[in-house]
Structure 1
């Protein structure tokens, strides 16, 4: 889970704060913090990648055995000399990091955009990535290592999701997992997992036509009628050709 101990909360003003301190009978005033500047972009030298606000990045996890954290860059700041660069980020959570945990319909590259904001050193960025919408992710010809998708926003305090309802498919009435093969009924257009209709994935891949149990009799009639119509059309074409 993204670290919480460094989470930054907005303060009630941007004015420098002074805290009087007594030392050997003398009242001292603490020096105001040096102003920081917002950067349009920053090149992380270790990976030779330039980041900007709005980019999605992979950040170093707290433990080497864990996968990189996924975050969206909100703002980039540096001190007056352009050093000590910090990134304001909004964390994406993986399903297993959420209160409800990973479920069957969650994809292996699925992340949730959370309400958890943080400030981290830019040096903890390990690379850039792309977080697609669910729709655009399902249209990818090939999924790369740095491709992720998001279809939910996640409240890290309550565990609530937005939206809290999504379309469900198949007999099992589960949301769509883009990692799983599904077959579509040609009659009702619903989608089914091969296992839920007592079929192997290999068998499903070989199907030319599929009608679910509810539509099977009607579907077979449509298929037979379409085949008869097709044969009749072919006969008419052949007849016309012979007459020429």
Structure 2
């Protein structure tokens, strides 16, 4: 069993305020930003604790959106792409707006329908240095960019390589 600090007790699961949705350690959640014009933050719940005043707090590991990272959003980053960071934090459980699913990149590309609660992650991100793991992924097309699941790609029947339409020199 996980250790807790004096005056704290582990609490698992937790029901999101105003809903019947239950969150437990390991779940991914949407967290309300202080600036309501921004999209919700995405985090993975590591631990849920309640203190002796019944305040519920969650220890989370943050996901970063590409535009929140050093270097920013790049052409190959998909709209639903997130980076799992090494940034941990403790927040009030009342800031949880809902649950979401962060898929592996491979599983995300196999989804028949992508819902508003679906995201994907193919990189881990070190917030202090801006380093990514892995530091490279397969590239495609003549543009030599990693695959962006938001962009249409086709497989050439002749050479069997994948290309953005119109870039491989073949007519489709």
In structure 1, which of residues 122, 129, 134 is the aligned counterpart of residue 93 of structure 2?
A: 122
Using CA pairs below 8 Å that are at least 6 residues apart, which structure has the higher relative contact order?
Answer: 2
Matching residue of 1:67: 39
Indicate whether 1:49 and 2:37 are aligned.
Answer: no
Superposition pairs of residues 17-28 of structure 1, within 5 angstroms: none
User: Could you give the per-residue CA deviations for residues 26-62 of structure 1, whole angstroms, max 9, x where no partner exists?
Assistant: xxxxxxxx51001121112223311000000000012
Superposition CA RMSD, Å: 1.8
- Tell whether the 8 Å contact from 1:71 to 1:91 is kept in structure 2 after alignment: yes
In the alignment, the residues of structure 2 paired with residue 106 and residue 85 of structure 1 have an alpha-carbon distance, to the nearest angstrom, of 35
Cα 1:188–1:111 shift into 2, 3 Å:
same
The equivalent of 1:168 in structure 2 is: 139
Contact 1:47 1:126 in 2 (8 A): no
Matched, 1:80 2:52: yes
Structure 2, unmatched stretches of 5+, are: none
Higher normalized helix content (fraction of residues)? 1
Q: Which runs of 5+ in 1 are unaligned?
A: 1-13, 16-33, 208-244
Distance in 2 separating the partners of 1:125 and 1:176: 32
Distance (Å, rounded) in 2 between the aligned partners of 1:113 and 1:156: 10
* Partner SS state of residue 123, structure 1: helix
Counterpart position of 1:153: 124
**Which residue of structure 2 lines up, in the alignment, with residue 218 of structure 1?**
none
Q: Which has the higher strand share?
A: 2
Q: Distance in 2 between matches of 1:71 and 1:60?
A: 11
| TM-score with structure 2 setting the length | 0.92
Deviations 1:104-138 (A, max 9, x none): 00000000000000000000000000000000000
Equivalent residue, structure 2, for 1:223? none
**Higher-Rg member (1/2):** 1
How many residues were matched structurally?
169
Tell me the CA shift for residue 198 of structure 1.
7.2
Q: Secondary structure at the match of 2:80?
A: coil
